[in-house]
């Protein structure tokens, strides 16, 4: 559920104009989760953005202050594309008695 299917990557790549949404680099990939897989983030369009390797690393591994700036930028971007975006809607929640 958290993996990103090729169909989602294709749609995100188009949505993000074939570039890193932060720096505009054309050497980017549509495979950055906004809510990480480790936190249950789903591999759906509303939770995936296109980032270059450098921006992806800064989003995931920068010191807290820098990471928060990247997170806020990415959240503002995704909310501009999906105005009703909610964190709760992009996280896998296992239901009692089910998957």
Does 97 fall in a domain? no
In the predicted structure, residue 15 carries a pLDDT above the cut 90 = yes
Does 98 fall in a domain? no
Q: What is the pLDDT of residue 94?
A: 73
Q: How confident is the model at residue 93 (pLDDT cuts 50, 70, 90)?
A: confident
Question: What is the rounded distance in angstroms from the CA atom of residue 30 to the CA atom of residue 6?
Answer: 10
Answer left, alpha or beta for residue 46, where phi above 0 means left and psi between -120 and 50 means alpha: alpha
**Locate tokens 């971007």: which residue?**
77
Q: What is the mean pLDDT of residues 26-50?
A: 95
Does 93 fall in a domain? no
Q: Which residue has the higher pLDDT, 68 or 2?
A: 68
Q: What is the pLDDT of residue 99?
A: 52
- List 48's β-bridge partners, or say none: 33
> Domain containing 59 — which CATH number?
1.10.30
Here the tokens at position 72 are 């806020």
- Those residues whose C-beta lies under 8 Å from the C-beta of residue 91, and which sit 6 or more positions away, are 35, 39, 40, 41, 42
Does 66 fall in a domain? yes
Here the tokens at position 99 are 């998957």
Does 61 fall in a domain? yes
Does 26 fall in a domain? yes
- Domain total of the chain: 1
Does 54 fall in a domain? yes
Domain that holds residue 46: 6-87
Does 1 fall in a domain? no
């Amino acid at each position: 559920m958290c993996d990103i299917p090729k169909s989602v990557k294709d749609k995100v790549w188009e949505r993000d104009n074939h570039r890193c949404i932060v720096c505009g680099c054309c050497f980017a990939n549509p495979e950055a989760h906004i809510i990480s897989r480790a936190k249950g983030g789903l591999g759906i369009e509303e939770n995936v953005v296109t980032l270059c390797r450098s921006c992806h690393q800064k989003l995931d591994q920068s010191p807290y202050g820098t990471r928060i700036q990247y997170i806020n930028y990415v959240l503002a971007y995704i909310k501009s594309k999906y105005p009703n975006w909610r964190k709760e809607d992009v996280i896998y929640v296992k239901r009692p008695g089910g998957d």
